[in-house]
């Protein structure tokens, strides 16, 4: 049995700081996706919501929240939470339902109304929660972790702050062409270097903001797509949600220690690389087949790491790719043609879904001025706290 499912519709609520409920954002994105698909809400047999846990009680039951907002019509409902991988987990749940024959049409929605500033853990005393511990014990905010990764790349591979700045310049140029992006202004490397230091060596323009926003997809089985008149839709061919392999000898958010490698040797493949590798294996493709990629640029330095982890180059060669323009629009394999989190900011439950929206528009050839010519295969990649892998392969 083919593992392909069809992407019939994609929709977003523009990202920014709008001051409204995440339910409002998600409903707008859902209706946009339904309209794009030409599917009536009453045809949807299942709703999968990617949860936001900062938005109060409704955030914990996001699937039902959006089903109610769109109008109860009896659809089955699922809610998932996997931190920044929530959207990919929601897509995986929808895909499983479709392939199992439980639903012909599934709506996937993720939305958030993010706090101002960097993310902090929810209130209360939770000494068994590593995310709470790293704030309480170390005082290590997300930007502090991003800076540790940046310093590691500088020490191991000779990357420079100038290399990191080029990532922001590239992504800002793409984001300026995206009507859904929060930041739609090109920046120069000099402007990045002149922005305030947040966590040395990273500056304000090296890290992503927190944002409000939403993204949604209408997914279906291939038989339904054909009956619906979509003879050649964008197809999701693989979804990877793998976990790390013991032992891990590189510090990874939110952990504050590594595993001992005294008894068992570490895997030759890093955790992030294993996320992409599982997606490639399931899809029957390799990095050489990619037309484009959407990766999780929490910081400029982390984007360079993803180049290596998704197989665009060997370890330590990520900076050379951005210097050569290989990952810019017009380059060999554009990365973050959407503008990435650098241009959108983080709306946690929505961002992995938003990545697939961008692949959908690119593979359809409807991405406008940021269109990657002849795009046929794309991959998304990110990860969520606590070992949540996230990669999706889409093809046309």
Using a 10 angstrom Cβ sphere, with 0-12 exposed, 13-18 middle and 19 or more buried, the burial of residue 374 is exposed
What pLDDT is recorded for position 1?
46
Nearest to 361 by CA among 107, 178, 173, 88: 178
109 Cα distance to chain centroid: 13
How high is the mean pLDDT of the chain?
94
Residue pLDDT, tens place only, 324-373: 999 999 999 999 999 999 999 999 999 999 999 999 999 999 999 999 99
What pLDDT is recorded for position 57?
53
Residue pLDDT, tens place only, 99-137: 999 999 999 999 999 888 778 776 778 888 888 888 888
Residues 6+ positions from 57 with CB-CB distance below 8 Å: none
What pLDDT is recorded for position 64?
94
User: How many angstroms separate the CA atoms of 205 and 191, rounded?
Assistant: 8
* 268: three-class secondary structure by DSSP: coil
Which residues pair with residue 115 across a beta bridge?
none
Residue pLDDT, tens place only, 166-218: 999 999 999 999 999 999 999 999 999 999 999 999 999 999 999 999 999 99
Torsion of CA 117, 119, 122, 123, to 10 degrees: -40
Full-model pTM = 0.96
User: How many angstroms separate the CA atoms of 240 and 254, rounded?
Assistant: 21
pLDDT-based confidence at 55, cuts 50/70/90?
A: low
Q: Out of 299-313, 316-330, 376-390, which region has the weakest mean confidence (pLDDT)?
A: 376-390
What pLDDT is recorded for position 58?
53
End-to-end Cα separation, the chain, in angstroms: 18
Contact 78, 96 (CB under 8 A): no
Q: What does the pLDDT average to over 81-94? A: 95
Residue pLDDT, tens place only, 222-263: 999 999 999 999 999 999 999 999 998 888 888 888 888 888
The first and second tokens of residue 196, run together, are 């305030």
Pairing of strands 292-295, 377-384: parallel
Q: What does the pLDDT average to over 297-321? A: 97
User: How many angstroms separate the CA atoms of 75 and 331, rounded?
Assistant: 43
236 phi/psi in degrees, rounded to 5: -85, 120
């Amino acid at each position: 049995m083919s593992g392909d499912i069809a992407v019939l519709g994609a929709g977003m609520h523009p990202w920014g700081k709008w001051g409204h409920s995440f339910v409002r954002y998600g409903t707008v994105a859902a209706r946009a996706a339904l309209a794009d698909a030409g599917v009536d809400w009453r045809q949807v047999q299942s709703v999968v919501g990617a949860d936001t846990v900062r938005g109060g009680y409704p955030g914990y039951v996001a699937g039902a929240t959006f089903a109610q907002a769109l109008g109860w019509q009896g659809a089955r409902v699922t809610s998932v939470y996997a931190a920044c991988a929530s959207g990919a987990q929601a897509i995986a749940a929808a895909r499983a339902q479709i392939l199992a024959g439980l639903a012909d049409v599934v709506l996937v929605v993720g939305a958030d109304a993010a706090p101002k500033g960097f993310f902090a853990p929810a209130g209360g005393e939770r000494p068994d929660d590593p995310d709470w511990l790293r704030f309480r014990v170390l005082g290590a905010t997300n930007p502090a972790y991003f800076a540790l990764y940046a310093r590691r790349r500088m020490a191991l591979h000779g990357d420079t702050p100038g290399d990191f700045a080029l990532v922001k310049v590239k992504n800002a140029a793409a984001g300026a062409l995206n009507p859904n992006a929060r930041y739609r202004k090109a920046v120069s490397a000099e402007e990045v270097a002149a922005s305030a230091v947040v966590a040395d060596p990273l500056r304000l323009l090296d890290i992503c903001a927190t944002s409000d926003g939403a993204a949604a997809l209408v997914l279906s089985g291939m038989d339904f797509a054909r009956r619906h008149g979509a003879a050649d839709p964008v197809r999701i061919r693989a979804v990877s949600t793998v976990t790390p392999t013991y032992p891990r000898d590189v510090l990874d958010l939110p952990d504050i220690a590594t595993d001992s490698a005294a008894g068992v040797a570490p895997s030759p493949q890093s955790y992030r690389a294993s996320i992409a590798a599982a997606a490639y294996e399931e899809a029957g493709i390799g990095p050489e087949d990619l037309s484009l990629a959407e990766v999780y640029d929490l910081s400029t330095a982390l984007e360079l790491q993803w180049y290596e982890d998704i197989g665009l180059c060997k370890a330590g060669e990520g900076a050379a790719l951005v210097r050569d323009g290989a990952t810019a629009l017009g380059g060999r394999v554009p990365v973050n043609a959407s503008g990435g989190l650098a241009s959108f900011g983080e709306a946690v439950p929505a961002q992995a879904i938003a990545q697939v929206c961008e692949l959908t528009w690119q593979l359809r050839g409807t991405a406008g001025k940021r269109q990657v010519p002849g795009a046929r295969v794309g991959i998304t990649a990110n990860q969520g706290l606590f070992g949540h892998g996230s990669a999706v392969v889409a093809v046309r």
